[in-house]
Structure 1
Amino acid sequence: MDSPTVLRRRLGSELRRLREGAKLQAKSAADSLGFSATKVSRIESGQTTLKESDVRAMLELYGVTDEAELRQFITLTRRSTQRGWWHDYGEALPEWFQTYVGLEADASRIRTYESGLVPGLFQTAGYAREIFRTHDRNQSSDATIERRVKLRLQRQEIIRDPSALTVHSVVSEAVLRRPVGGAEVMAQQVKHLIATAQQSNITVQVIPFTVGAHPALSTNFRILSFSDVPGEIAYSEALTSSIYIEKQSDIAWHATAFDQLTALALTPEDTIAWMHRLVSEEYAA
């Protein structure tokens, strides 16, 4: 069964198609509906839970009168309000990150560049635990931190099935040289990354310091693609918020930057050999 997130994206995509078919700009539609332009944008991008009353009002404005089509939209709206598995983690998962976890679970392909951290889908429990402890401004209990670690590990289930998701990750050399949690934690993390990188659906490349400046020197980003929903999403995050980019020209810029990064990075095979050397030279017991 489709998750709530992908259902919201489907609905949003269809509502955008209907709006455009009705020759309405988003601002004009928002004014007619008594919505803010931001609300229309969030509905069309699948970033907010839909209300039946809002969907009915939008369909009426866009001229949808066929009863069967109306019933289909309302049924999808009701299904899209279901809770995803990640909601069971409550306060362990920040509200601003819930949308991303849902999108990640529905993606068929993820391209990611990271300059500071091992990507969450590849982190070990020890590495993740250290990250959560260090970044915890609220001094959460050990139990809350362990729930966050458990959530991170559960997210990784999506990479177990090679036919469901492919991930291509480019990371800065700094990611693997920074001794998060000490030598033992990093040795386990790098060894885990080596094993993960050898899965048929996973590609990992390291950009060495010797490359110098490159197109994403000051940022991290992810590009998510979906098999059953049109369009891609570029995603980046700060300490307490995140940005979703769906403008085609902006996504194309991110995709071009990613291609440039892959060309500058070590090949996947050389990356694995480099990580083996790193473990023996930097993190050996």
Structure 2
Amino acid sequence: MSGVQNGTGAVARRLQLGTQLRRLREASGVTREDAGYEIRASESKISRMELGRVGFKQRDVADLLTLYGVVQEAERSALLSLVGETNTPAWWQTYGEVVPPWFQTYLGLEEAAKEISSYEVQFIHGLLQTEDYARAVCLLGNPTAPAEEIDRRVAVRMRRQHILHAPTGPQVLAVMDEAALRRPCGGPEVMRRQLLRLIELAALPRLTLLVMPLGVGGLAAESGAFTVLGFGGSADLPDQVYLEQFTTAIYLDKPAEVAEYDSVLRRLRAGSLSPEATLGLLREALRDL
């Protein structure tokens, strides 16, 4: 269980435990259908458990371990001890009405990640937004929402940013298309404060901020926005690619898929301005407002 570390959060623990159960099931030659029958559940429930999409019950995990031939007390205890941690309430659960389940998974992964690498085309990345800019973005996506709902959506975005200053926070690479800097989201004054914020954040030691300038190839249109979440090569918690859509999200964790997006990130970095030139462009965009 060397890949399991303290403080990684309930979502990450569910993924770790699910991965362990899948490996044990496959090693024992048990099908998902048979595993589901053992715990009075469906094959799809076993699939969701192995993907870390649902919580775990102590009895279900104990029964599955027995089915998979895990009889050594030390191994059983190590896995069963994770069950309680997979169901620990997270801070965003108090915002459940504005945080859909598919995004709750992302929030857990974001908090657990050792590296967060993203490419944004339309907007500034959520981790780097000012409160006013975040409110303008939320209003664009939810124009008829009441003010209280918008406030809570913005509060979630602001709370996420704590990881930027946490002592054990992740390394962050944020690549943005220049169009995101030039789009006057919220108006000139909101954009002015947002650009000043980016200039301030660029000084953080764990943040690399790069801009892909306008007129550089067709890579932006080819890839679209995405985020790669890295977990330090843990065998129990594979790296993930997050692709957000309008009402849902796609999570990719197969090594070949993640490698493809890592390759795109390398090309994006090669085509972007250097950190120093990025600062120059931010100041230029500020002057142009």
TM-score by length of 1: 0.91
CA–CA separation in structure 1 for the residues paired with 2:42 and 2:253: 19
CA–CA separation in structure 1 for the residues paired with 2:58 and 2:221: 41
| Equivalent residue, structure 1, for 2:248 | 241
Q: Does 1:268 align with 2:271?
A: no
Q: Give matches, 1:139-218, under 5 Å.
A: 139-161=144-166, 163-214=168-219, 217-218=222-223
| Equivalent residue, structure 2, for 1:29 | 32
CA–CA separation in structure 2 for the residues paired with 1:273 and 1:215: 21
Q: Sequence identity of aligned pairs in percent? A: 37
Q: Give matches, 1:1-285, under 5 Å.
A: 2=7, 3-24=9-30, 28-34=31-37, 36=42, 38-136=44-142, 139-161=144-166, 163-214=168-219, 217-227=222-232, 229-281=236-288, 283=289
Question: Quick one: structure 1 residues 162 and 178, their matched pair in 2 at CA, closer, same or farther if it must change by over 3 Å?
Answer: farther
Unaligned runs of 5+ residues in structure 2 are 1-5
CA contact (8 A) 1:216 1:257 kept: no
Unaligned runs of 5+ residues in structure 1 are none
Deviations along 1:25-68, one digit per CA (max 9) or x if unpaired, are: xxx23344245554334322322212233322321221112234
CA–CA separation in structure 2 for the residues paired with 1:38 and 1:211: 44
Q: Report the number of matched residues.
A: 278
Moved over 6 A (4+): none
CA–CA separation in structure 2 for the residues paired with 1:140 and 1:107: 32
| Equivalent residue, structure 1, for 2:3 | none
CA contact (8 A) 1:33 1:57 kept: no
| Greater displacement, 257-266 / 62-71 | 62-71
Question: Quick one: structure 1 residues 264 and 41, their matched pair in 2 at CA, closer, same or farther if it must change by over 3 Å?
Answer: farther
Partner of 2:241, secondary structure, is: strand
CA contact (8 A) 1:215 1:257 kept: no
How large is the RMSD of aligned CA atoms in angstroms? 1.9
Question: Quick one: structure 1 residues 152 and 158, their matched pair in 2 at CA, closer, same or farther if it must change by over 3 Å?
Answer: same
CA–CA separation in structure 1 for the residues paired with 2:35 and 2:211: 50
CA contact (8 A) 1:30 1:36 kept: yes
Question: Quick one: structure 1 residues 84 and 196, their matched pair in 2 at CA, closer, same or farther if it must change by over 3 Å?
Answer: same
The residue type equivalent to 2:152 in the other structure is R
